[in-house]
Structure 1
Amino acid sequence: MPFKILRRTKILQKSMSLQSISFENLALTKLPVDSSRAPGSRRVEGACFSLVDPTPVDKPELVVLSKDALKLLDIDSTDDEKIFAEYFSGNKLLPTWKTAAHCYCGHQFGYFSGQLGDGTVVYLGDRVNSNGERYEVQLKGAGRTPYSRGSDGRKVLRSSIREFLASEALHYLGVPTTRAGTCVTSSTMAIRDIFYSGNPIEERCTIVSRIAPTFLRFGSFEIFKNTDSETGRDGPSCEQKYHHILPQLLDYTIENFYPDIWNANIGNRAAMVEAFFLEVVKRTAQLAAHWQCVGFCHGVLNTDNMSILGLTIDYGPYGFLDRYNPKHVCNNSDDGARYSYEKQPEMCKWNCKKLIDMLKKEASQENLYKALEQYDDFYQKAYLLKMRAKLGINEQNDESDLEFVKKFLRAMQKTGADFTNTFRVLSLFQTPAESNFGTSVELVKNRILDMCTNADELRKQYEPKISQHELEMVQMLANTNPQLLSLMGGRRLLTEMRKMEIYEDYKDLTDADKREKDDLVWTEWLQQYTDRLKEDFPVGTTTSTLKERVAKMDASNPKFILRNHLLQSAIEKAEKGDYSEVRRLLELSKKPYNESHILTLQQGNSSEGASCSSTAQSKISPSDTAILERYFSRPALKDLDIRVT
């Protein structure tokens, strides 16, 4: 009898100690496994997983844990910290865990890279929890696997803290994501050259436990890819004798994670695969819309980083927008800006197109492309639904609503307004039908003007990173030898040249001049906003409707996001053995839409996985106000350069 995930029911979820919980290994029983435990990296043919043991670390220590994420596995988070540290470092294994690494391929920055796989990740097992939901758990940073490609298979404290906090923060923001249960560090050291400067340092090996229904991704299906015409690389299971594995992988995926599609199409294989792909397209488009609406930049949207369930997966050089810049690139290694903020929806669609290359062996290529054509509609519908809620407007028609959103974004871009805080303050803007409308207009405009970049920040934004002599050489090559310029990294150099031209316009700008220009921009937009609200909420609109509008806006516009400078501050403290800031950021992330962060901040060392003060001061001192400013305001000038590779 085929395995079916139980329907979710409202059951009181039971929590058990970690050591008493039993796991299954459904993925390893349903999909082919490479049983060789030969050391070192190797090409793995005819398998979706390879058996491998995690590599132990010295003196494992719990940094932080998420109670809510561990509940997905029915794990009682009140267990001793040492137990979590031992088991979720990989030093000890439960009897029912069967450890393995997943084989997958990927298109990286547009080019097929062949076999990639879990180079740092070890699958532990999966189980159906007390709510009838299946979840898988794995360790990231657990040591070498057959897919490590010469690396040590380790992650370090800074990258692990970033992954843990982002996984949980996006969940609480309402964005589909994999989850993080624990972050465990150790005294085992890894060598890393952070800035690729030839100055490597030692960093502590750290392991994150990740939780999701499955970690299958687009690249999981690319192991069957024939030799790529551009890169000359192929998937490890491209040979004809392994082609039976593709339908096996599809059956496992659809039956267990898309059961409605499985049940509705038994006996019609092509229709099943086409319906599956359509749902993947829909979820992926909706995920991209989620990202754009909270200002999240993933950074590395390769096919191996695209979840088959439409989840955010594999947190590397991610970042949230500070000032609104649609061309923002959070990944310092993305010289071509392939994965800039504004290109994320397009790149997700491109990745879906690459998935067709694999699925067309099991379905009609024509029908798969028809499904892909619906991507833009799925994206726009999800995007506008969220943007209307964020702006507090009613639906009129898609074309005019989209143009209204664009006008708001253009005003933010022109003035360098903070993305998160500008959206948030709009709920203070009352409709013309309300008595305090006039007062609210000036209040909101002044708040927004305070959130715009000042003259120094603007100059820093456009200040070139290369010398005047180099800029002159770029200009000469652009006119005489563009091919040579391209070989030298022309796109980046031309960007620097354009920045210099803009910089010249702003080099003598004062803060007063900047605010005066910004005032004109926002006065114009707020008048357009007023006109729109008159249409959507005319005089006579009920008080309950107006209150509902504000509540919806506050529930759609976060007060708190994980800004890079906050993460960096937490990392620096953690590297000195102080995990309080990591734990505080987790607590703040759990209530991103709620103004009551003050209570959390007052509980200085309160955290998950550590003892928690049962009382909190109720009075807010001047120093507390400064703390709040730091967590909820746009970054200071000195923090604008923080970038991640």
Structure 2
Amino acid sequence: MSDTSLDQILFENPFVDELRGETSGEKGSRQVPGYCYSRVEPTPVQRPHLLAWSDELGDFLGITKPAETGPAVDTLAGNLVTESMKPFAARYGGHQFGNWAGQLGDGRAISLGQVRAVDGSRWEIQLKGAGPTPYSRRADGRAVLRSSLREFLCSEAMYALGVPTTRALSLVGTGDAVVRDMFYDGNAQEEPGAIVARVAPTFIRFGNFQIMAAHGEIDNLRALADYTLRHNYPELGAPGPEAYVRWFGEVARRTAVMVAHWMSVGFVHGVMNTDNMSILGLTIDYGPYGWLEPYDPDWTPNTTDFGSRRYAFGQQPRVALWNLMALAQALGPLLPDAQQLRAGLDVYARTLAETQHELMLRKLGLTSQFPDEDRALMQDLPQALMEPEIDMTWFFRQLSHLAPALLADAGDEDALFAELIATAAYSVAPDEDRNLLGWLRRYAARLRQEPADADAIRAGMLAANPKYVLRNYLAQQAIEAAETGDLSALERLMQVLKAPFDEHPEYEELAAKRPDWARDKPGAATLSCSS
């Protein structure tokens, strides 16, 4: 299959063609009971121009990288709607910070339809920031450059890390100003607007099912469940009660795998509302996310969550289970006995524990031949990392390089450990590193029980412990430069984030720990839900 310009690609529209939708085309904010979606076209922008493009995703979709301006970029900005597209905004509800929020929906995202990738699979292209929809509530349906750049970069960075995720094809500047109050503190100001073209097999969320159940729309609920089974889980068999049970178990399994990967790389989503949970177990909606720098299970990047820290790093496994319980409640009306879905929650717990254990073994260069010893080692590690405020990414990467020396048992390992702690810690008070030093001694003894040679262990650890992650301060630097028209920082970040396990000696500074100046700088440490 040769590459084709996006404005010339044939779009397919199964979501619109097979489900009940509102077709008035009106963009005004309102309740839309009885429907799965609303047909609505993007609102044109003043001066669409390409800022960034994912070459890897474009190649997979068979889409040619466009010039800075032209028909393809007009399509990516929503200015050009081709004949085969049937743009729509989906209706969904959700629990936000644990409270039922009623109708939510795609308030600033408009799906253009699906395209066929080079392997024949179908992928939905959705424009985020494409203008108002019936679900926009009091907002304008737009997105600013800072949030759009963060979503574009993080989507592709997570994919390169091996984390289940939605993808991002392009970042387009709009030439329009968007007014936002970044921290909800009364300091609203104009910011440059942008649109991300994000890509996934489907953007259906837990909340799509919740809104149907909440309104007693059982026919729509069943139709949406059957659609999801036919298009996204065909291996589970024809839709029906037995298939629904198998399906929920598979959603739970995928969700557990996703969260285990988050925990493995130190990623904090920041806003795990049920409307931000993908029915495919993909990371979706990159808002106030962040990576652990000082290791702290209670850390959240989301200023809106500072009161309860519901979505803090260490709470993510528990919240995902809570969200699955909410999904099970929504699917209950489709079954003669909703208790059948409880088995799926057990699948989640089991899969999460197994996957986290497996991923941590890889990070530590260990095999599973000493399960009890390894389990104790892993259980003690979080507390040991927390006391001296260890940078999680830096620590594991440097430990990977240290492994051959530890296997050699040269006798000076305490000096190596002291250097590791000194370089990885953000603050080490007297005696605060004692637990970590003791843990490292135990680890070194366990590592020497491995049958593989030093080079193989080091290579395996380097492949499991990234050197580069999208730290918030790096994203903020790229944002500030892009707002002045300088895309060099964005382009440099893209180079390392698409190959995060490689060394990239020419970009060494992008692997550095968070600098002191970034600790409290807006956008470089914490963010709000504003976009």
Normalised-by-shorter TM-score class? over 0.9
Cα distance, 1:243 vs. partner?
A: 2.0
1:582 to 484, 487, 490: 490
1:103 to 91, 94, 97: 91
How far apart in 2 are the matches of 1:592 and 1:129?
Answer: 25
1:637 to 501, 511, 516: 516
Q: What letter corresponds to residue 177 of structure 1 in structure 2?
A: T
Does the CA-based 8 Å contact 1:49-1:100 persist in structure 2?
A: yes
How far apart in 1 are the matches of 2:27 and 2:423?
Answer: 58
Cα distance, 1:49 vs. partner?
A: 1.0
Are 2:285 and 1:297 aligned?
no
How far apart in 2 are the matches of 1:407 and 1:449?
Answer: 20
Cα distance, 1:640 vs. partner?
A: 1.2
Does the CA-based 8 Å contact 2:270-2:301 persist in structure 1?
A: yes
Does the CA-based 8 Å contact 1:432-1:530 persist in structure 2?
A: no
How far apart in 2 are the matches of 1:157 and 1:639?
Answer: 20
Listed one character per residue, the Cα deviations across residues 348-379 of structure 1 (whole Å, up to 9, x for unaligned) are 01000001111111223121012212321110
Cα distance, 1:81 vs. partner?
A: 4.3
Are 2:251 and 1:280 aligned?
yes
Q: Give 2:468's aligned residue.
A: 560
Instruction: Evaluate the alpha carbon distance shift between residue 440 and residue 80 of structure 1 in structure 2; reply closer, same or farther with a 3 A threshold.
Output: same
Does the CA-based 8 Å contact 1:143-1:152 persist in structure 2?
A: yes
Q: What letter corresponds to residue 62 of structure 1 in structure 2?
A: L
For 1:380-391, list aligned pairs within 5 A: 380-391=353-364
Does the CA-based 8 Å contact 1:108-1:302 persist in structure 2?
A: yes
Cα distance, 1:637 vs. partner?
A: 1.4
Instruction: Evaluate the alpha carbon distance shift between residue 376 and residue 400 of structure 1 in structure 2; reply closer, same or farther with a 3 A threshold.
Output: farther
How far apart in 1 are the matches of 2:151 and 2:437?
Answer: 40
How far apart in 1 are the matches of 2:371 and 2:51?
Answer: 46
For 1:513-552, list aligned pairs within 5 A: 514=429, 516-534=430-448, 536-537=449-450, 541=451, 543=453, 546-552=454-460
Q: What letter corresponds to residue 233 of structure 2 in structure 1?
A: Y
**Unaligned 5+ runs, structure 1:** 1-12, 227-237, 456-513, 602-627
Q: Give 1:40's aligned residue.
A: 28
Instruction: Evaluate the alpha carbon distance shift between residue 385 and residue 434 of structure 1 in structure 2; reply closer, same or farther with a 3 A threshold.
Output: closer
For 1:427-438, list aligned pairs within 5 A: 427-430=400-403, 434-435=407-408, 437-438=410-411
Listed one character per residue, the Cα deviations across residues 204-258 of structure 1 (whole Å, up to 9, x for unaligned) are 22110000000001001012233xxxxxxxxxxx24xx42111111111011111
Listed one character per residue, the Cα deviations across residues 300-354 of structure 1 (whole Å, up to 9, x for unaligned) are 0011000000000001000011111111111011021000000000000100000
How far apart in 2 are the matches of 1:592 and 1:106?
Answer: 34
Does the CA-based 8 Å contact 2:406-2:413 persist in structure 1?
A: no
1:598 to 497, 502, 505: 505
For 1:120-135, list aligned pairs within 5 A: 120-135=108-123
How far apart in 1 are the matches of 2:9 and 2:411?
Answer: 60
Are 2:359 and 1:451 aligned?
no
Cα distance, 1:14 vs. partner?
A: 3.3
Does the CA-based 8 Å contact 1:164-1:208 persist in structure 2?
A: yes
How far apart in 1 are the matches of 2:207 and 2:486?
Answer: 38
Are 2:347 and 1:374 aligned?
yes
Q: Give 2:291's aligned residue.
A: 320
Instruction: Evaluate the alpha carbon distance shift between residue 526 and residue 248 of structure 1 in structure 2; reply closer, same or farther with a 3 A threshold.
Output: same
2:81 to 82, 88, 93: 93
Q: Give 1:347's aligned residue.
A: 319
- Structure (1 or 2) with the larger CA radius of gyration: 1
How far apart in 1 are the matches of 2:393 and 2:240?
Answer: 45
Range with greater deviation from structure 2 (39-48 or 177-186):
39-48
Q: What letter corresponds to residue 43 of structure 1 in structure 2?
A: Q
Are 2:10 and 1:25 aligned?
no
Q: Give 2:212's aligned residue.
A: 224
Give the number of aligned pairs: 522
Cα distance, 1:542 vs. partner?
A: 5.4
Instruction: Evaluate the alpha carbon distance shift between residue 61 and residue 45 of structure 1 in structure 2; reply closer, same or farther with a 3 A threshold.
Output: same
Cα distance, 1:279 vs. partner?
A: 0.2
2:50 to 54, 62, 73: 62
How far apart in 2 are the matches of 1:21 and 1:440?
Answer: 59
Range with greater deviation from structure 2 (373-382 or 403-412):
403-412
1:337 to 298, 304, 309: 309
Q: Give 1:403's aligned residue.
A: 376
Coordinate RMSD, CA, aligned: 1.8
Cα distance, 1:440 vs. partner?
A: 5.8
Does the CA-based 8 Å contact 2:9-2:115 persist in structure 1?
A: no
Instruction: Evaluate the alpha carbon distance shift between residue 182 and residue 23 of structure 1 in structure 2; reply closer, same or farther with a 3 A threshold.
Output: same
How far apart in 1 are the matches of 2:277 and 2:437?
Answer: 41
SS in 2 for 1:430: helix
Q: Give 2:232's aligned residue.
A: 257
Are 2:80 and 1:197 aligned?
no
Does the CA-based 8 Å contact 2:417-2:437 persist in structure 1?
A: no
Does the CA-based 8 Å contact 2:39-2:88 persist in structure 1?
A: yes
**Unaligned 5+ runs, structure 2:** none
Cα distance, 1:60 vs. partner?
A: 1.2
How far apart in 2 are the matches of 1:187 and 1:542?
Answer: 56
How far apart in 1 are the matches of 2:27 and 2:386?
Answer: 52
Which runs of at least 4 in structure 1 moved beyond 4 Å after TM superposition? 78-81, 431-434
Does the CA-based 8 Å contact 1:425-1:444 persist in structure 2?
A: no
Q: What letter corresponds to residue 141 of structure 2 in structure 1?
A: G
Are 2:154 and 1:179 aligned?
no
How far apart in 2 are the matches of 1:520 and 1:272?
Answer: 53
Are 2:70 and 1:82 aligned?
yes
Range with greater deviation from structure 2 (358-367 or 394-403):
394-403
How far apart in 2 are the matches of 1:66 and 1:323?
Answer: 31
Q: Give 1:308's aligned residue.
A: 279
Does the CA-based 8 Å contact 2:407-2:444 persist in structure 1?
A: no
Identity of aligned residues (%): 39
Does the CA-based 8 Å contact 2:27-2:40 persist in structure 1?
A: no
Cα distance, 1:523 vs. partner?
A: 2.9
